[in-house]
Chain A
Amino acid sequence: MRAHILWLTVGMAAVTFLPRFIPLALFTRWALPEGIKRALHFMPTAIMAAIVFPILLSTQKGHLAFEPRLLLSALLVFAVAWRTKNLWASVVLGMLVYWLLGFAFA
């Protein structure tokens, strides 16, 4: 392993580990105030939505842009996951449909 890649990896590991570790180390010892705990209730939903939407939609020059193939596959996965709650089947079906739509939108 080359030295500069080793240092890059060590640096990346540090700035990845610390934001993961510091809140866990602190708040498993000193409980968060009740108000903040309540405020964090919707955090998983909010974080996942904030990650997902920009993958599917983007703004370019002030206009909303999207790729039909990606958006259609995404809506299907959403619907199937919602109805079945079966995650792995939804992921596999989504990949299959995205692949097939590739022929339609080619």
Chain B
Amino acid sequence: MKKEVCVLAVAGMLGSSFDEKSYQYALEKHPDIIGCDSGTCDSGPFYLGEGKPRMNRKAAKRDLELMIREGVARKIPVIVGSAGTAGADPNVDWMIDIVKEIAAEDKLHFKLAEIKTELTKDQLKEYLAKGRIKPLDGWENLDDKKIDEISRCVSVIGAEPMIEALNQGANVIIAGRATDTSIYSAVPIREGLDNAFAWHAGKVLECGTLASVFEKYHGSMMSWVREDSMSIEPAHPEMAVSPVSVVSHTLYENSDPFHLVEPGRILDIKDAVYEAENDRRVKVTGSTMKRTPYTVKIEGAKFEGYRRVAVAGVRDPLVLKQMDSWLKEVEKAARTKIQKGMQLGKDDYRFRYLVYGNPKDDNTETVGVVFDILAKTPQDADGIISNVWHTALHVPIHDWEGAQSQTAFPFSPPSLMTMENGKTYSFCLNHVIQVDDPLETCRIKYYDL
């Protein structure tokens, strides 16, 4: 067993253009792993549903190249988790392609492991039939019909598949959806440190320098994991963590700040003790970890339709005075037209409007309205949104006599679509799978580059 494992998180998110100098400082400390998280479900269900990354390819390549070049030269394993935002198969393919390009351009030779974590509907149905899928937080049980409605599903893997890839001699690992912490706990665990400190360190590292007292440079954070403690320190000498900044970070994006549930483990950090070792480094003791039956969380996105929006400014003080009733009138008139002209009724599409600004405030010059619709086909969506904004333009108020136009549109056409023809998804799973083997929801493939 190694006495101490040094873990480096180059940044909180791959593709966020981390500070190179911080990274160089970090490398001087001889880390045992160079890691970075590349995903999140924070940006919503689109990226999973569509299998598209949120980050820019050039920016992702820049970060990956810095990691891989140094990792290969110094024989330090490089681990990236939740590839390409959603960690689904197309997102992993996207990143593997970048890694191959880097290897070819920089004439680097290494063993690359690709870990895919997407699950097919058949796999889900099989798990369901075996009674292995359990809902979380009061969600309903799954059934075959609900599974058929899922556009894409990923399993959120733990550290074990990454450890397997390391055991097979991988120098660079690009993993599909994985818990953020498992990226950083894989190497300590492999070195015999499967303890609370490995996971607690992962929790602090996952957002890079966000746990600092002041994030002067966006970039590398380091941790030293031991049998009975861990220490944490930003790589850049001009930056610091304090006991308060480290504890405060356990609050961030975390609903229960005392318990962290990981595949096969639960971490209890309620009684953790945070001590300043010097003016920029904190030592953590007192966290505990318990083994639990191994479960893997699943995330799913369901296709909902094609979205179109129109943005309008309302400025006439007399319209603003009766904004609520005027908008209700717009909705009613638009729905009637859509029914007559397109033969689409209430159940054929969804419609809402959002009002930005306070129409009741006399100092308001413009109140923004976003008309938002979701339809079953792109053609329907185009037709519906045109009907909506054009109706809004001319719905009269009784204070005026004669023809009126009420909405200031900032561009032509006044409607927009979100990305990929407005394809819209929703998160449809909040479940776990009870597995026999932590590797069974993933597929590992190796490339000798």
B partners with A: no
- A interface residues with partner B (beta carbon < 8 Å): none
- B interface residues with partner A (beta carbon < 8 Å): none
